[in-house]
Amino acid sequence: MVFIKSLGAALVTGASQGIGKAIAMRLAHDGYRVALNDLGHKRNQLEAVAEDINQKFGTETFVVPADVSKEEQVEVMVASSSKALGGLDVIVANAGIMGPTKPITELSMEEWDQVQQVNIRGVFLCYKWAGRDMIARGSKGRIIGASSMVGKQGVANLGSYAAAKFGVRGLTQVAALELGKYGITVNAYAPGAILTPMSESSFSDHSAPHKDLPSLPPFAKLGRPEDIASIVSYLASKEAHYITGQTISVNAGIHFD
């Protein structure tokens, strides 16, 4: 176990697996006390992540199951995390779902709404309540959201997902403008082809991703959750104070901004 001087406290949503888990582990490594969120039925996974963090870093954790699409739950999630960990300095609105892969002419309203509820409504609610908490405490914090390469370049048959992830970019810009006067920065990350439990079924051959992604540069491999965690680590740091309103691409060159 390595004991690290605390840099403050961070809340990570969707932290039970994949990118969220990698972000939580990295922020704990960096020295943050970490609140871990996901849906209620994933509590055991969250507890396992918390135990892993404690064993490796001796860092304080707080497990806080909640549905990020429900405002009353997000309000309680933020307030309880802030109280338990002595005030939030960072929130990473990472939770998201892929949704159906089908043309927009075949999407049902239920399918559309499900993706929007988590991927954009959930980010909005995290931004809102984290912003309120940081303003009330005078914290010059960091708010970070999850967009996607599909939030910068539309992909056929991913209409609901693309719309939500494009929305995160716009919301991030607005939040950065509104919260900047309080010393709060707001940014997002846009992952490319990252191999996670949620995305692995999208790739027929993990060792040859170009079969499914012909636009992936010849030199590029599938990314790992840790590749996203590294940019979040920087955006959460003091060194990133001059960056706000940005959505940072992490995609091995699959497309350029």
Q: What is the rounded CA–CA span in Å between residue 225 and residue 14?
A: 13
Residue 21 annotated to the active site: no
Asked about 165 being catalytic, the answer comes back as: yes
Q: Which of 102, 161, 182, 211 is catalytic?
A: 161
Long-range contacts of 236-239 (CB under 8 A, 24+ apart): 236/10, 236/27, 236/30, 236/32, 236/90, 236/92, 236/142, 236/144, 237/30
The Cα–Cα gap between 243 and 246 comes to 7
Catalytic residue among 42, 165, 189, 234: 165
Phi and psi, residue 122, nearest 5°: -60, -40
**What's the residue count for the chain?**
257
User: What is the pairing mode between strands 185-191 and 61-63?
Assistant: unpaired
Distance, CA of 24 to CA of 146 (rounded, Å): 14
Element housing 231 (H / E): helix 225-236
- CA atoms of 118 and 256, how far apart (whole Å): 27
Active site residues: 161, 165
